[in-house]
Structure 1
Amino acid sequence: MNSRPCIAFLASSAPNAQEALADLVACHGQCALEEADVICALGGDGFMLQTLHRYGALGKPVYGMKLGTVGFLMNHHHREDLLERIATAEPAKLRPLEMLALTESGSSVGSLAYNEVSLLRQTRQAAHVRIGLNGQTRLDELICDGVMVATPAGSTAYNFSAHGPILPLGSHTIALTPIAAFRPRRWRGAILKADTEIRFEVLDPYKRPVSVTADSHETRDVVEVVIRESADRTVTLLFDPEHNLEERILSEQFVV
């Protein structure tokens, strides 16, 4: 990265984010995404995930500033010393999950997830799901509201709210967490190696339809979902040293 990096600023549609965008562009200029040294995302965690999905393939590090409701993946927003903050920022490499879903109509839908992939019941009827790991059935029938697979970066979000474990960054693990499991009632999920291939089979898709959501991308009426960690896709987030992502995830485990 150059001593004075070329920055591409992106902002959510929220008025305060748009105001910050205009202010920062006036101060630092605006660089084209393809030519940028770093992307600066202004918004909340939802906008950060949107940025990663849209521009992650460019391979540019992303420095986020919180101008939204939730900002776990963001730094504090203030315009002062932005260049110095970017220069001293600590990188955190994230590897997304790859999801491939087969629907009742026979179509296949693929997507990436940096936080989690969630299977959810579509109606008042509970979902019936079979779970296989690396080609071996591990749970013949899970009756539940849903089930998810979460990355370490996503383990503090929806996964933690569903009583799943918080995973340390760099632990090369993923969390398999049920949502309101009815049977087996005592099953709390599992912590798996990151390279595990997880296969969900929907056992009664017509009576008990199920949807799958990869971050914010939803596919309805699925009959099978296969999830594995991406072997070749990574993104780099930049964090201020005093509160980097690893520290944030660790701190979440001591919140009482």
Structure 2
Amino acid sequence: GLNKPFIGWHRGNRYSQGFLLNPPTKEYLEEYISNQIAVNNIPMLKIELFDGKEVNLGVRYGFGDCYFKGAQGSGFMHARVIIDGEIWFDQLDGDGVLVCTAAGSTAYNASNYGPIETLDFEDLIVNAICPTLWCNWRPRILDRSQTVTLETLHTERRAVNLWIDGHFIDLPVQKIKVSQAKKTVALCFVKSYNFREKVEKLKLQRTKEV
């Protein structure tokens, strides 16, 4: 990579990718031009890939989220969730399962009623994608030191795909181990912009909608 800080401007809806980035207003643009910015170093996801025979297929890194989802035509999938080597959820049934950072908490995670966090939140979130009612699923927040393993089940009947930050991983991945990476992404914000306030307003709005 270029090892340079990144600054972005968000023009989409409140749940879209990049939701927490700088709004493209004249005032904020003027601050950016005059170099009135602050840099936030955001931890990435480290994602170890394995096939169905436990063969290591390499390591990938993600900024927002990674998730297993039923392949096109199969939809429904099954997965086991393991935290620090202990089975936490033996069989999750649904459309998929994800792990995300705070940066990814406003995307797929939010659309599945997961917690929305500010960018200075360094822990990880595990959430299901459209879980079945009988699973009684609840999203879980993991400490930054923990490792979560997502293991797909019954893939001979229902194929699954792995996606990282919206990109399809064209490998026969059936299990991933996800932890906080030592790598970070440097995000720039204009100094007067308060992304924490934006998140709190969104949380309040979601509470009113329920």
- Could you say which TM-score interval applies, normalised by the shorter chain? 0.7 to 0.9
Distance 1:124 1:215 in 2: 22
Other structure's SS at 1:242 match: coil
- Pair 1:247 & 2:197 matched: yes
Letter in 2 for 1:166: I
Question: Contact 2:39–2:187 (CA<8 Å) still a contact in 1?
Answer: yes
How far residue 65 of structure 1 moved from its aligned partner, in angstroms, is 3.4
Query: % of aligned pairs identical?
Result: 25
- Pair 1:76 & 2:24 matched: yes
Matches within 5 A, 1:64-103: 64-66=8-10, 71-72=18-19, 73-76=21-24, 78=26, 80=30, 82-84=32-34, 87-103=35-51
The 4+ residue runs of structure 1 with deviation greater than 6 A are none
Number of the residue aligned with 2:123: 173
Letter in 2 for 1:154: G
Gaps of 5+ in 2: none
Question: Contact 2:43–2:122 (CA<8 Å) still a contact in 1?
Answer: no
Matches within 5 A, 1:1-256: 55=1, 58-66=2-10, 71-72=18-19, 73-76=21-24, 78=26, 80=30, 82-84=32-34, 87-104=35-52, 106=55, 108-122=57-71, 123-124=73-74, 126-182=76-132, 184-220=134-170, 221-230=172-181, 232-255=182-205, 256=208
Letter in 2 for 1:246: R
Q: Deviations over 1:175-198 (max 9, x none)?
A: 111111126432122111122111
* RMSD between aligned residues: 2.4
Question: How high is the TM-score relative to the length of structure 2?
Answer: 0.82
Question: How high is the TM-score relative to the length of structure 1?
Answer: 0.68
Q: Deviations over 1:152-183 (max 9, x none)?
A: 11111111011111123323321111111126
Higher helix fraction: Structure 1 or Structure 2?
1
Number of the residue aligned with 1:3: none
Q: Aligned in 2, Cα 1:140/1:80: closer, same or farther, shift over 3 Å?
A: closer
Distance 1:125 1:154 in 2: 22
Q: Deviations over 1:131-154 (max 9, x none)?
A: 101111111111110011111111
Higher strand fraction: Structure 1 or Structure 2?
2
